[in-house]
Structure 1
């Protein structure tokens, strides 16, 4: 992808997931909205994975992926964009924390920034525990270094015990074709 030369861009990695309704269509819509947002340029998209729900397990499985963007947005501006997209698709919000949702977007990394405020924590505070975040990130850049612990996402993924609770099953391209239309 070609990026405008005159802009100061920061790479950011996002996690995206859905487990309500047409999961692939929900993700496709969110990706299109991201790509249509001024100052956000999608650089890479991982494979898509069917993943076991975490924390609250009595719900449908998710479809998850990761996205690498280049952005002129500050971390707070990027968070606002993601929350706007989430509210568009989840107008009534999530029924409860970790509950079912049409779309979930999280900032995993923003450059090498370390941010810890009441509304934003980067790197994502639970990403190192979640195969559904790490496996898609490995598709994009398994050598990406966590700015706090110094480990790569590949090393973090290898530390996770993959069992039924951390299942990450790649979807066939045919299952995700609407992402690319």
Structure 2
């Protein structure tokens, strides 16, 4: 079994329904969700939008290898009308990123693991540090909490509270 940290997020559509649906799809098609962070409201990163994102980090156990996992993630994102194109950052119903795959370093034309921008993004580091503060980045040799403390991203991250 592989242990994989996934970052999920979206900023358009019914965010609560989108998160409920994606969690169900992840459990059915990718692997068992072992841990999940709180959901955080965050500003867009890398582009402007008036719609804030919701972001969450999950730890899953899966039998899938990295490339097969990515292929299935893309299929799930397609169900949320994910458009892959010229714009690198844009509004979306749902985005799923592989953050860590075991303690492996993996680089192909389609996938780099660990995710190369983890250390730059508070919207990833805050939920990651919530569920895995002491997990060490396999290349940087810093814990998620240390990377959060060193992060230069000044975004305001707020926990989503459901009533």
2-structure distance, mates of 1:120, 1:19: 24
Shift of 1:119: 0.2
Whether the 8 Å CA contact 2:120–2:152 is kept in 1: the answer is no
**Structure 2 unaligned residues grouped into runs of 5+:** none
2:20 aligned counterpart, secondary structure: helix
In the alignment, which residue of structure 2 is the partner of 1:78? 69
**1:1-181 correspondence runs (5 A):** 9-37=1-29, 40-90=31-81, 93=83, 96-161=87-152, 163=154, 166-174=155-163
What is the CA RMSD across the aligned residues, in angstroms?
Answer: 1.4
1-structure distance, mates of 2:43, 2:84: 18
Pair 118,94 (structure 1): closer, same or farther in 2 beyond 3 Å: closer
Q: TM-score, normalised by structure 2?
A: 0.94
1-structure distance, mates of 2:160, 2:150: 23
Compare CA radii of gyration and give the structure with the larger one: 1
Shift of 1:59: 4.2
**Structure 1 unaligned residues grouped into runs of 5+:** 1-8, 175-181
Aligned pair count?
162
Shift of 1:173: 3.5
Q: TM-score, normalised by structure 1?
A: 0.85
1-structure distance, mates of 2:158, 2:150: 18
Residue by residue over 1:33-66, the C-alpha shift from the partner in whole angstroms, topping out at 9 and shown as x without a partner, is 01112x6111011000000111112341100000
